[in-house]
Amino acid sequence: MLLVKKVLCNGAQQSYMPPSTIAIHSPYDVEAHYSSKRSVDCVGYKTHVMETCGEDCPHLITQVYTTLSTVTDDAAVEPIHQGLEEKSLLPVGAFHGYWLCDGRTSC
């Protein structure tokens, strides 16, 4: 991880950690940044997956959207919605937002 040293006017040095949006956390992928949400910490990317979830139909993945790990989940809603609209796969009825699942629970 990069530690920035700032030289003050009097010659003293002050160390600080840069924000995670600019700190490099992997020498192999300079876009892989640190992110923390509740009890989950990660370095890399976030993948947002939209799927059908009707009671009488199979659960099919309709849209996959990958972002930097520092991008907030709500910032991904609009691009996902636009992608679904381009494929004529918008949800029936009102689009109420998004839900986060842990892969073991259904939305």
Summarised one tens digit per residue, pLDDT across range 37-77 is 778 777 888 888 887 777 787 888 888 888 888 888 788 88
Query: Which residues neighbour 99 within 8 Å (Cβ) at sequence distance 6 or greater?
Result: 107
**Banded pLDDT at 25 (limits 50, 70, 90):** confident
**Per-residue DSSP letter, 41:** E
* Assigned token pair, 35: 């992110």
pTM, two decimals, is: 0.58
Residue 36 in domain:
yes
**Banded pLDDT at 6 (limits 50, 70, 90):** very low
Residue 21 in domain:
yes
Residue 22 in domain:
yes
Amino acid, res. 43 = V
Residue 52 in domain:
yes
Domain count within the chain: 1
DSSP H helical segments within 4-103, as ranges?
A: 73-86
Domain span holding position 78: 4-86
**Banded pLDDT at 15 (limits 50, 70, 90):** low
Residue 101 in domain:
no
Residue 31 in domain:
yes
